[in-house]
Amino acid sequence: MLVPRIKAHGRAFAHIAAYHPELTALRRDLHAHPEIGFEEHYTAQRVVEALKVCGVDEIHTGIGKTGVVAVIHGSQRQSGRMIGLRADMDALPMTEHNDFAWKSLKPGMMHGCGHDGHTAMLVGAARYLAETRQFDGTAVLIFQPGEEGFAGAKAMIEDGLFDRFPVQSVYAMHNWPQMRPGTVGINPGPMMAAADRITIEITGKGGHGAHPYQTVDPVLVSAHIITALQSIVSRNVRAIDSAVVSLCAMQAGDMGAFSVMPGKATLMGTVRTFNPEVQDLVERRLHEVCSGVALGLGAAAHVNYERIYPATINSRQEARFAAEVAQKLLGHDHVDRDLEPSMGAEDFSFMLQVKPGAYLRLGQGAENGVGSCFLHNSRYDFNDDVLPLGAALHAGLIEQGMPLASAD
């Protein structure tokens, strides 16, 4: 029998720890059967089956294509309060290089970000809340599809998520291998950056590589653009602000034709920012720099700038509350209330644009290597030791956010 190695306080943690083996079995089954965004049919089915066993009051499927929402009513409903908890369900289109028994059974798909663990933790919270119902209000548990680049949160919202379930606040958490198990991190502001996609199409004039004077070389133009774009952050963005401009891919010419100069080249990359004003500045300067450099070398450049995910910004009151819940569970020394933001992105940001709430990081990186491999790595695996803790943290947000009225 699995025994939780993490120490935590409170009734919820002790209760949930009793079914740690079942949560681990569910998590590993989900890991073995990964599904990418909006294709989480098996995952949604397993979630629904588990929720039925948990005894939740309502189960709603097909929200935002493959999303699932469970509703649990407290033993009291005098407050009229409703709080949402969200877990993402999708996997990544990448090949797993682990060799344990629950490794991916689907070539080219892998739970490389721990969403299998997030789903299992929310199922654990559902079971506890349905069994105890020690809160005054309604808990809404959101199992979201398509976080990895598909904007599944936005799809659920557009499908009426918060119209049908008008929560007053919403919370989510993500495992973080760079933090120790038994720790939680949060801050009352930006947690994750906005993620934008940039595509730069450069048009020159192709020709023979032996006679470059007869051409306009788009590869040379690309090299100058790549270098020039790094000046945006260093020379246009204030030092006290944060921004990243990364060109991550380039396509030009034919690798089998070493002496043929192409007529076109394409660059692909990403921009990361926290502040919308900085985001606007970077977008404007990208257009100006690319056009100017290309024009100066006799070419033309077209920039397609796509805003994919907004920044994930916690609301101050909810972040403070979530930190207090975590502190009661783990103790003061195990909660970082001023966690450094990440330049990664998260589509929970769409929910925080509509509702106040908070996004937390749950430590999972152990000294023995379990859970320590960073996210999106082909050898990553979720650390099952933290399952009861994450579930108890979810439950605490509900119980302490909607406490039972005192009996007179």
Q: What is the set of active-site residues?
A: 90, 147
Asked if residues 209 and 259 have their Cβ atoms less than 8 Å apart, the reply is yes
Non-local CB neighbours of 2 within 8 Å, separated by 6+ positions: 20, 21, 24, 384
Contact 339, 232 (CB under 8 A): no
Other C-beta atoms closer than 10 Å to the C-beta of 133 total 19
Burial class (CB in 10 A: 0-12, 13-18, 19+), 333: exposed
Q: What number of CA atoms fall less than 13 Å from residue 30's CA on the CB side?
A: 37
The residue whose two tokens read 């906005």 is 194
CB contact at 8 A, 304 and 199: yes
With residues binned 3-state (H G I as helix, E B as strand, rest as coil), the percentages for the chain, rounded to 5, are 35, 25, 40
In sequence order, what DSSP letters do the residues of 318-371 get, joined into one string?
A: HHHHHHHHHHHHH-GGGEETTPPPBSS--THHHHHHHS-EEEEEEE---TTSTT
Chain-centroid distance of CA 379 in Å reads: 19
